[in-house]
Amino acid sequence: MLQKGDKKLINAWAFYDWANSVYPLVITTAVFPLYFGGVTGGENAQVFFLGTQWTNTVLYTYVLSFSFLIVAFLSPILSSIADYMGNKKRFLQFFLYLGSLSVMSLYFFESKETLWVGILFSILASIGFWGSIVFYNAFLLEVAYPQDHDRVSAKGFMFGYFGSVFLLLFILTMIMHPEWYGFIDHPLQEGETAPGIAFRLGFVIVGIWWMAFAQYTLYHLPLNVHHRKPEKDYIFKGYRELRTVLKQLKSLDALKIFLISFFLFSAGVQTIIVLAGKFGDEELHLPTSNLIITILLVQLVAIVGAYVFSRISTRFGNILTLKITLIIWAIVCLAAYLLPGEHPNVNLYFYTLGGFLGLVLGATQTIARSTYAKLIPEDTIDTATYFSFFDVTEKLAIVLGTATFGLLVSLTGSMRISVLVLMIFFVAGFIVLNFMKKTKYVS
């Protein structure tokens, strides 16, 4: 078994980002939202689901919120059981298979008549992805020492951005030039040029990529590193494990303050990741090609941002680095609110905003993950349970962010007010960070 700090073990852990990051980019951000909008009738189209009429964009945001709520409910219980049984690796495996197979099942979402397929497997794919991330993040404490967390966390995100951009480019060529691959299909709807079969095959490829590349991570990650021997009543004992960690959290002031700040700024970060494409599409009326270029720009700049800010945090401390990123996030939100959709150079302004967003996207996620890992007591063996609170905080933040976004869109008919409210989340997160005190590894 590879030892903690071993370069091969660190690379194997980080490689899971390469495997899974195609899901948030291709499915959550770039391709599936456009496909969902096209199949359900275009901008502000009405659809029926569960006997109720919905605007397609509002339904999409509520579906995402619902999936995050399920993960937020399940992850603390499952992670405490995983810690008690010493089998985080098996839980990671289960959720990655649930997610990848669900993504592949989106192939059968072909029209409004199969909307339930798109909704069901969108929810299951989201649960699979975010559920696996709980256990993946928890392994950070078992593969790297605290002084290396910033660098190792950044490596994971950089692997993820590289891999997801590579696969997205391939899928985009398949969507825009299906004849290169020997097939031609009917358009999604009148006036659309992207063939539906290309989108759907893209979903299958994403699932295969995720499942296949994850095998390298699964092969090298340790199983039951603390040699725990669970008794039969593991559900009750797992729940007791959860209560123990919760009591410990109450006495860790720095960790509590960080989680509050993390909750606030995550409501903004994750909502923007999920819905930035729809803002450009429906509010600024940008062509699909411009949106794709912006998404690719964000991913490429994020690689640089993750690397640069991990070095800044090493020199100036995690908290100051996070504050800098939150200031930039708030400025981006304000600029997006003020950006006029009718301006002749609106696409160039949107590219610029995308560049700034990319700069802090990887940085904020990287530093947040490594900061939390450093704040966990060094001698703890309940790593998955601790990270489940991190994950629950993020998921509840996404529920708040996406639900608020969807509610304001339904009330105002515009996304601009929603974007302005997201800025408030970043400002509030910045304010809370000012109450954190220095610890051994976090300053």
**Which of the pair, 428 or 85, is modelled with greater confidence?**
428
The string of pLDDT tens digits covering residues 12-33 is: 999 999 999 999 888 887 788 7
Counted domains in the chain: 1
- Binned at pLDDT 50, 70 and 90, residue 235 comes out as low
What pLDDT is recorded for position 83? 64
Is 2 within a domain? Answer: no
Mean pLDDT across 198-227: 86
Q: So what's the pLDDT on residue 192? A: 43
Q: Buried b vs exposed e over 102-137: b needs ≥16 C-beta within 10 Å? A: bbbbbbebeeeeebebbbbbbbbbbbbbbbbbbbbb
Distance CA(102)–CA(117), nearest Å, equals 10
- Better pLDDT: 405 or 211: 211
- Average predicted confidence (pLDDT) for the chain: 80
pLDDT computed for residue 248 by the predictor: 74
Q: How far apart are CA 290 and CA 313, in angstroms?
A: 33
Q: What is the DSSP string of 66-97?
A: HHHHHHHHHHHHHHHHHHHHT-HHHHHHHHHH
Residue 424 or 194, more confident? 424
Query: What does pTM read for this prediction?
Result: 0.76
Domain CATH for 32: 1.20.1250.20
Between CA 134 and CA 16 the distance in angstroms is 12
Between 399 and 281, the higher pLDDT residue = 399
Query: Domain range spanning residue 340?
Result: 7-221+234-433
Give whichever of 147-161, 239-253, 254-268, 381-395 has the largest mean pLDDT. 254-268
Whether residue 140 is contained in a domain is answered as: yes
What gap in Å lies between CA 150 and CA 315, rounded to an integer?
A: 11
Count of helices and strands (H, E) across the chain: 16, 2
Q: State pLDDT tens for residues 263-291.
A: 999 888 878 877 776 677 666 777 767 77
Length of the chain measured in residues: 443
User: CA-to-CA distance for 250 and 248, rounded, in angstroms?
Assistant: 5
Is residue 440 in some structural domain? no
Interatomic CA distance for residues 158 and 305, integer angstroms: 9
Residue pair 235/74 in contact (Cβ under 8 Å)? The answer is no
Residue 210 in any domain: the answer is: yes
Q: Tell me, yes or no, whether 22 lies in a domain.
A: yes
Identify the pLDDT of residue 232.
56
Let me know if residue 290 belongs to a domain.
Answer: yes
Q: Is the four-CA dihedral 81, 7, 219, 307 of positive or negative sign?
A: positive
Q: Among positive and negative, which fits the CA dihedral 300, 361, 135, 131?
A: negative
Question: Percentage of residues in the chain with pLDDT exceeding 70?
Answer: 85
CA atoms within 13 A on the CB side of 184: 1
- Residue 441 within any structural domain of the chain: no
Q: Give every CB contact of residue 338 below 8 A, 6+ residues apart in sequence.
A: none
- For residue 38, is it within any domain? yes
Q: How does residue 441 score in pLDDT terms, banded at 50, 70 and 90?
A: low
pLDDT greater than 70 at residue 319:
yes
Could you identify the residue written with the tokens 């490596």? 155
Q: Which pLDDT does position 195 carry in this prediction? A: 46
The rounded distance, in Å, linking the Cα atoms of 164 and 406 is: 27
Average pLDDT over residues 297-307: 82
- Per residue in 344-396, pLDDT (tens digit) is 677 788 888 888 888 888 788 888 888 888 888 776 656 667 777 787 788 78
Q: Is 253 a residue whose pLDDT tops 90?
A: no
Give the model confidence (pLDDT) of 153-204 as tens digits: 888 878 888 888 889 889 888 887 777 877 765 555 443 434 478 888 999 9
